[in-house]
Structure 1
Amino acid sequence: MMKRIALLLLMVVTVSAYAQKAVKPNLNKALSLYKEGKLDEAKTMIDLATTYEKTTNDAKTYYYKGLIYAAIDTTSNETYKALAPDAFQTALDAFKKGDDMNTGKEHFVQEASGLPVTKTQQIAVWANGYLNKGATLYQEEDLEGALKNFEKVQLITPKDTTAYFYAGFVSNGLENWDKAESNFKKYMELGGKSPDAYSVLVNINSGPKENKEEALKLVREAKAKFPKNTDFPKVEIGLLIDLKRIDEAKSGLESAVKKEPNNKILHFYLGYANQNLNNNAEAKKNYEEALRIDPKYFEASFYLAKLMYTDAANLKKEMSSLGISQADRKKKVEIDKVLVEKLKVALPYWENTEKLNPSDQEVLDVLYSIYRDLGLEDQSKRIEKRYKELGLEN
């Protein structure tokens, strides 16, 4: 009986020793299992290695753990993916810990071909997978999904400008102005060199964020960084006009016109600046020059027509302020004679503008007013018909 018990105890000890030996962590084995695609076994082995006294302080342990969990994170095998729902973050943490512990050369693994693949290359492959996925979702118009993938790329490779650039555009498309702004600023901070980043930032601040001073600051930075870009100076001028800094805008425009004498937009803006400074004769020349360059330039024609209608509009205002006394009635008759001449001067400018855009209500409204003031009934009826065609009220 005693011999039998002794034999059983010996078997238990032997089996126990064997079991312990079978699960003893082995980094080389973990790597082999990873290469073979046996991610469940690789995960078990590497998890043990992180708590095993002989491997827990080895930087290679966490490098391998990062590789294994990154593979679980990106696998299409749902069984393996279910092993670690937080595989993405676990991989990030493992790689970071391995980097913090590693004071030697960069880690790498040997491929079947015999060529080494470094950690940097492996990280790049991991990041590119999410970058491509984000791009695909963007093309499919899933902006939320695209943004999530680009943000994962930022976590994997925090110094790579590409993901910040793409995330900026997607956030802008989602009208998440703050996130778009932070992404583009990070892109530039990291050395991004696309002027498009500045263009979007300027648009965000001059538009939805209503911060034109910040937009002006940004566009001036952009001008300094991209001196060959011809758009930023024009945007600057537009912002100066919006900010009522007309004198400053005019000075910049005059310099710009000398450099680009055939640029209709510059002539138009110079006309706008001069008009705001009450330099109407100069403004008229500027608008006419813009139309000489492009006879179909609606904005220039519209503002020129408004300029030519200024005197008539002032006279009408003066007439409406007069009373019914004999002196006022006499003055009205005198003003009306001048008004008729001013309206006749302005009329062809408005008619030309209508030809460029027959559906613009403000143009139709002014034309209708002029036709009625001049007693041109047929033309007034023509405008009334046009209102009906467009579904507008007069």
Structure 2
Amino acid sequence: MKKQFIVAIALLVSTLSFAQKSELKTAEKAIKSGNFADAKSAIQSAESLITNADDKLKAKFYFLKGQALYANGTGSNSDMDEAIESFNMVQKVEGSTKGKYGSTINDLKSQMLNNFLTKANAALQSKDYTASSAGFNKAYRMSPKDTLYLYYAASTAVTGQDYNTSLKYYEELRDLGFTGIGKEYNAVNNESGEVETFDNKSLRDLSVRAGTHTAPKDKKTESKSAEIVKNIALIHLSNGDNEKAIGAMKLAREQNPDDLGLLISEANVQLKMGNKERFTELMKEATLKDPDNPELQYNLGVIAAEAGEKEAAMKYYEKAIALDPSYTDAYNNMAVLILAEEGAIVEEMNSLGNSSADNKRYDELRAKRTTIFESAIPYLETTLRLKPKDIQAAQTLMNIYRGSGQTDKYKAMKAKIEELEAGN
């Protein structure tokens, strides 16, 4: 009985092996003829039999499965994901990327990667952000060393408002320790005069040698860590998970206590949550770390203005302007603060009667209003000089010129506004 039992098992193994090879042969023929539906069917039939196969047969199975699912680039999204896994399994079974199928798989992976990137970029251009994100994610799964593809997948998912998907990718990037720091290879296009960024140093240098570009420059890209953590926190915030949002920022700050970007990101998250006091504390901490940053001063000015602290707000705006004389928004907000008093003055002027006391008060208020106008004009004129198409600043200036009796300037500004409106 014992011998018969052993023989029975041997016969069963032999039968299974024959079935496996038969199905794989069918799949191989179907792939060569481009009949990928039949190839997938044959692969599915062999799937349940492959567990006990030897490594040689397993490698062939996963190789054919990957080809059948890839279908020369026509496979569905889910098929593409399985194809990637199958090709990876071949190399895992063979224990190397240089096995029997290594070279062919590397070629197929290169084709797949280019296919994914082409489709992802095309979808991005057509603003199909969901498809673009899926393509960049597949490119990353195909080439895990290129973590920038995963970053693009997360970014496009955010743009497409697919926050759950983007959160998954951002958290993966965070756990990988991704920073995105790299090098940009730039040169000036001689024809357009504009700075262009090249995919790599070789292409940039080739263009410079060809004479089409000049002034080559290597530029280190900024870290994206703060952006990633901020987006994780903001997504948690939008999902109503305030504790997770703050927890994400806290963990990042603990790991990178000197990272100014993370500090500012936490401040922005606190502001989104309505915690203006904590926002102000963090921004003040940021100004100590970077006292020459005009944007920090400006943001503190905005918060002070919203809190009704006019004098403090004006000091922050003035500091921002001193640090960056071209900071248009700071000039504009200074004018807004100055003009904020006009409403109450006009209201009181309109409420006065015709008595001598009322007339005297009217003249006092009119002089005060003129002083306000004179104080605001330089800031608005600078705003308009820096942003010539700022129609709101132009309209405010026109009203001030009219209210202060500057007829010539009023007419000139009125003509400018008509020109701007016609251009729109």
Q: Is the counterpart of residue 271 in structure 1 residue 301 in structure 2?
A: yes
Q: Is the counterpart of residue 377 in structure 1 residue 407 in structure 2?
A: yes
Alpha-carbon distance change, 202 to 360 in structure 1, aligned in 2, over 3 angstroms: same
Q: Is the counterpart of residue 351 in structure 1 residue 333 in structure 2?
A: no
The counterpart of 1:65, out of the listed 49, 61, 64, is 61
Q: Is the counterpart of residue 135 in structure 1 residue 124 in structure 2?
A: no
Give how far 1:70 is off: 0.9
Residue 194 (structure 2) aligns with: none
5 Å-filtered alignment, 1:274-293, equals: 274-293=304-323
Residue 107 (structure 1) aligns with: 93
Residue 387 (structure 1) aligns with: 417
Q: Distance in 2 between matches of 1:360 and 1:108?
A: 65
Give how far 1:388 is off: 0.6
SS at match of 2:405: coil
Alpha-carbon distance change, 251 to 122 in structure 1, aligned in 2, over 3 angstroms: farther
Q: Tell me if structure 2 keeps the 8 A contact 1:246–1:277.
A: no
Give how far 1:239 is off: 4.7
Residue 276 (structure 2) aligns with: 246
Q: Deviations over 1:148-188 (max 9, x none)?
A: 44555688899996664342233234443443333323443
Q: Is the counterpart of residue 170 in structure 1 residue 156 in structure 2?
A: yes
SS at match of 2:340: helix
Q: Tell me if structure 1 keeps the 8 A contact 2:287–2:296.
A: yes
Q: Distance in 2 between matches of 1:262 and 1:222?
A: 24
Q: What is the Cα-based RMSD across aligned positions, in Å?
A: 5.1
Alpha-carbon distance change, 339 to 244 in structure 1, aligned in 2, over 3 angstroms: farther
Q: Is the counterpart of residue 182 in structure 1 residue 181 in structure 2?
A: no
Q: Tell me if structure 1 keeps the 8 A contact 2:226–2:265.
A: no
Q: Deviations over 1:203-256 (max 9, x none)?
A: 69869x967985963555544444454333334444545555333233222222
Give how far 1:292 is off: 1.6
Structure 2: gaps of 5 or more residues: 1-13, 181-222
Give how far 1:352 is off: 2.6
Higher gyration radius (CA):
1
Residue 199 (structure 1) aligns with: 227
Q: Deviations over 1:275-317 (max 9, x none)?
A: 3344333332222222122211101111122223233343224
Q: Distance in 2 between matches of 1:249 and 1:280?
A: 18
Q: Deviations over 1:320-362 (max 9, x none)?
A: 4x25474656543432232223322333232233222232233
Residue 202 (structure 2) aligns with: none
5 Å-filtered alignment, 1:1-394, equals: 24-25=18-19, 57-58=52-53, 60=55, 61-74=57-70, 76=72, 107-108=93-94, 116=99, 129-140=111-122, 141=125, 146-150=132-136, 152=138, 164-189=150-175, 192-194=178-180, 196=224, 199=227, 202=230, 217=246, 221-227=251-257, 229-241=259-271, 243-320=273-350, 322=351, 324=353, 326=355, 331-391=361-421
Amino acid at match of 1:234: I
- Bigger Cα displacement from structure 2, 378-387 vs 209-218: 209-218
Give how far 1:29 is off: 11
Q: Tell me if structure 1 keeps the 8 A contact 2:335–2:376.
A: yes
Amino acid at match of 2:64: I
Q: Distance in 2 between matches of 1:124 and 1:228?
A: 42
Alpha-carbon distance change, 167 to 314 in structure 1, aligned in 2, over 3 angstroms: same
Q: Tell me if structure 1 keeps the 8 A contact 2:328–2:386.
A: yes
Q: Tell me if structure 2 keeps the 8 A contact 1:109–1:117.
A: no
Structure 1: gaps of 5 or more residues: 1-19, 100-104
Aligned length: 352
Q: Deviations over 1:63-109 (max 9, x none)?
A: 4322212123345499xx9xx9997587689899x99xxxxx96218
Q: Distance in 1 between matches of 2:164 and 2:132?
A: 17
TM score, norm. by length of structure 2:
0.63
Give how far 1:385 is off: 0.7
SS at match of 1:107: helix
Identity within the alignment, %:
20
Give how far 1:124 is off: 7.9
Give how far 1:373 is off: 2.0
Q: Distance in 2 between matches of 1:106 and 1:223?
A: 39
SS at match of 2:411: helix
Q: Tell me if structure 1 keeps the 8 A contact 2:260–2:286.
A: no
- Bigger Cα displacement from structure 2, 299-308 vs 210-219: 210-219
Q: Distance in 1 between matches of 2:22 and 2:140?
A: 31
Q: Tell me if structure 1 keeps the 8 A contact 2:153–2:166.
A: yes
Q: Distance in 2 between matches of 1:164 and 1:296?
A: 36
Alpha-carbon distance change, 199 to 301 in structure 1, aligned in 2, over 3 angstroms: same
SS at match of 1:366: helix
Q: Distance in 1 between matches of 2:47 and 2:381?
A: 83
Q: Distance in 2 between matches of 1:278 and 1:86?
A: 56
Alpha-carbon distance change, 370 to 88 in structure 1, aligned in 2, over 3 angstroms: closer
SS at match of 2:341: helix
Q: Tell me if structure 2 keeps the 8 A contact 1:287–1:304.
A: yes
SS at match of 1:391: helix
- Bigger Cα displacement from structure 2, 69-78 vs 122-131: 122-131
